Chains A and B, each alone.
Chain A
Amino acid sequence: MIKLDGGFIQNLGRVYGLYTLGFLGFVILMAIFEAAGVSNTVIGWLFVAFTVGIYAMIGVLSRTMESKQYYVAGREVPAVYNGMATAADWMSGASFIAMAGGIYLKGYPYMAFLVGWTGGYVLVASLIAPYLRKFGCYTVPDFIGTRYGGNLARFCAVVILVVASFTYVTAQINGTGTVAARALQIPFELGVWIGLAGILFCSMLGGMRAVTWTQVAQYIVLIIAYLIPVFWMSNKLGYGLIPHFAQFGAVERVQELEALLGVGSMMPTAEAQAEAGKLAALKVGINDASDSLMAKWKFFTLVLCMMAGTASLPHVLMRYFTTSSVKAARQSVGYSLLFICLLYLTAPALATFTKLSLLDPNVATSIIGKSVAEVSNLEWIQQWSNVGFLKVVDGNGDGIVQINEFFMRGDIVVLATPEMAGLPYVISGLVAAGGLAAAMSTADGLLLAIANALSHDLYYKIIDPKADTKTRLVVARIMLVVIGAAGAFVASMKLTGILGAVAWAFCFANSGLFFPLVLGVWWKRANRAGAIAGMIGGFAAGAWYLYMVQFGGMTPWAGIDGLRFGMIGMPVSLVLMVVVSLMTEEPDAETQKMVEEIRVPSGKTVVQQ
């Protein structure tokens, strides 16, 4: 063992530096194994076992029975490391697995997600996070419950938190199942339960403390796994050393090819599309028509919903409760965004280079323009067709693959890129480990947010205020297992795709929580009745609208579809909260003083627990 002078916190740089080197060493070892003829399945298993084993070990080493450690990691996480942990917490299976595919298939309109999921942090930094840190709460409903007073306000916040986070966590457990099933060659349902076991190992014994230090480790794995293939492709295709700069030339080439191959003009025939089912062909250019009023409106509404959702999702906000000061919380938002951008700036480059690998006739791996027989014989095409991720349908029967005859699921842009670009299998194993890290780290944070709200707010604050620390922490762990199992059960029924459920979670959160949180800090006059009306009204309006559009057959109003139902919930929440607050008595002097206190960074936290 390495000898550490001082505690763990003083040696973070060394610990994670060694860990990173160890992981890179492991990747090299796997490359040597591959060269020595070890089978792909064994390499896949080793990748998953090694990384998940390390997370579980960190989880066990960070076990604790102190409530401050369990709920807020002892409030001693440095800004940079909290930034990394937040980035892992934040970047889910959707960011890692689905985002590049979305950009690939849908181009510019899809990039509203990138703008929304980064810009939301400006709201987190300026409106909410530092003030909640000064407040000193353990959970987000803890703030709502104390600021507005009363069990009903707290209970409403718990319900919204549970609905939003649970929607999100099923998507993540689904993601772990997809990746595990693929890397380990096991059935999806089994993958889901194995993923859950890993997730619980990381969070159960040490709560926030364990989740924090595993998330840092998971960030390192996921970012290495995301960047290496893109750097490799950029160089292999000859566009330059750094993909982020090389993509300028690559995008120019993609636009030439779009004109050449008929992207945007050659649509799949109805029969071909029917045969391909939910899989999609490439139908739009990367920067196609964005100048209609409707296109602008859709971009605007999606950006707004994702931003407000970012600023109201409890599993993100609670990460900033763990920093050592208000100042550190603010800086930590900056670091979070920096670490997130590292991946988000790479996603468009990945989409572009994948496109070139498949479309450019000058590139050996391309498939468009080749004969159907030849393409169908490629190993990766067969593998991914077998699991229903892609399909070649010769719509016009000429025996040649055209742009409108190749159908795929967006997810394969990340998952299959190493194979389609002809990279060694060790890179596929690395990507699987990265996808697993992304989905697991987000699931950890979400499960903990739900379990903590149920144990701290519902059980301790509402049901049994006299419960001792030990009982509370035991309840918290039971909740983790129960919620995790419920999430895995729902995920194993495969109800939604990864992204649909993720966007819903953002809209549930912003419909119910955004204004009660923001106005709780910024408007002293906001009171209990207003907050309750805002939470119930906004959440109910949003949920009703989602139900009607998604399942009730209602035509969306003004292009506001199921991804954007926060556009209905948020205004309802704001209006109700303001009107009801003004119609009822202003908060008492004590509450007003509390609001004044959270606006000053120095001094003790408002609540002491």
Chain B
Amino acid sequence: MSSKQDEHWTKTKSLTTTTLVIWAIISFVIHWFGEGLNSDAFPGAYFMAGMGSQVAFAVLVFWFASRQNQIDEEFGFGEK
């Protein structure tokens, strides 16, 4: 494997790891401590599951796709 390919893969792995860490926080950590979002006036856990997490996932996927694309182009591995 060429060193260019190596470096591309290292960067890809690090981006994927970052993405998965953010994913795990939105999916699991926040909801594990969901009751911390609740107050008498506002059911925070309910709205986090019903809105917050979903929107965050969508933003995360688009961000990941554009970052990965930048990495591919940086190494000349982008597609025409």
**Residues of A with Cβ closer than 8 Å to B?**
103, 107-108, 111-112, 114-116, 118-119, 121-123, 125-127, 130, 244, 248, 251-252, 255, 286-287, 290-291, 296, 299-300, 303-304, 307, 325-327, 330-331, 333-334, 337-338, 341, 344-345, 347-348, 596, 599-602
Contact = CB atoms under 8 A, between A and B. Distances in A.
Of listed A116, A121, A126, A599, residue having the most chain B CB within 10 A? A126
B49 A108 contact: yes
B53 A119 contact: yes
Contacts of A111: 46, 49-50
A331 B64 CA distance: 9
Nearest to A341: B54
B65 A331 contact: yes
A413 to B, nearest CB: 15
B77 A602 contact: yes
A286 B43 contact: yes
B73 to A, nearest CB: 9
Contacts of A344: 54
A82 B77 CA distance: 23
Nearest to A328: B79
B5 A600 contact: yes
A119 B26 contact: yes
A333 B65 contact: yes
A331 B62 CA distance: 7
Given A107-B46, A108-B45, A303-B28, A345 B78 contact: no
B77 A296 contact: no
B5 to A, nearest CB: 6
Contacts of A348: 46, 50-51
A488 to B, nearest CB: 34
B32 A115 contact: no
Contacts of A130: 68
B13 to A, nearest CB: 8
B20 to A, nearest CB: 7
B52 to A, nearest CB: 10
12 contacts: A114-B54, A115-B54, A119-B27, A119-B53, A125-B61, A303-B31, A341-B58, A345-B54, A596-B1, A596-B5, A600-B8, A600-B77
Contacts of B26: 119
Task: Place the interface of chain B in its size category.
Answer: 35 or more
Contacts of A601: 72, 77-79
Nearest to B76: A602
Contacts of A596: 1, 5
A244 B47 CA distance: 11
A334 B65 contact: yes
Contacts of B28: 300, 303-304
Contacts of B49: 108, 111-112, 114-115
Nearest 7 Cβ contacts at the A-B interface = A287-B43, A111-B49, A348-B50, A330-B65, A291-B35, A287-B46, A334-B62
Given A114-B49, A115-B53, A287-B43, A122 B34 contact: no
A108 B45 CA distance: 8
Given A121-B57, A348-B50, A600-B5, A325 B79 contact: yes
B9 A251 contact: no
Nearest to A287: B43
Given A126-B19, A300-B32, A331-B65, A602 B78 contact: yes
Contacts of A115: 27, 31, 49, 53-54
B51 A244 contact: yes
Interface string B29-51: 00110110010010101110111
Contacts of A121: 57, 61
Given A108-B43, A114-B49, A596-B1, 14 more contacts: A115-B31, A118-B58, A121-B57, A121-B61, A244-B51, A251-B47, A286-B46, A296-B34, A303-B28, A330-B64, A331-B65, A333-B65, A337-B57, A600-B8
A125 B65 contact: yes
Contacts of A103: 50
Of listed A111, A114, A244, A286, residue having the most chain B CB within 10 A? A111
B61 A337 contact: yes
Nearest to A592: B1
A200 to B, nearest CB: 33
B9 A255 contact: no
Nearest to A289: B35
Contacts of B38: 287
Nearest to B29: A300
A328 to B, nearest CB: 9
A330 B31 contact: no
A347 B61 CA distance: 22
A189 B16 CA distance: 48
A326 B79 contact: yes
Nearest to B28: A300
Nearest to A296: B32
Nearest to B26: A119
B35 A290 contact: yes
Contacts of B57: 118-119, 121-122, 337, 341
A111 B8 CA distance: 38
B55 A341 contact: yes
B79 A327 contact: yes
Contact of B46 (A108, A119, A307, A602): A108
Nearest to B13: A522
A126 B64 contact: yes
A118 B53 contact: yes
Nearest to A346: B50
Of listed B8, B20, B49, B57, residue having the most chain A CB within 10 A? B49
A111 B49 CA distance: 6
B55 to A, nearest CB: 7
Given A118-B53, A327-B72, A299 B31 contact: yes
B16 A602 contact: no
A307 B45 contact: no
A251 B62 contact: no
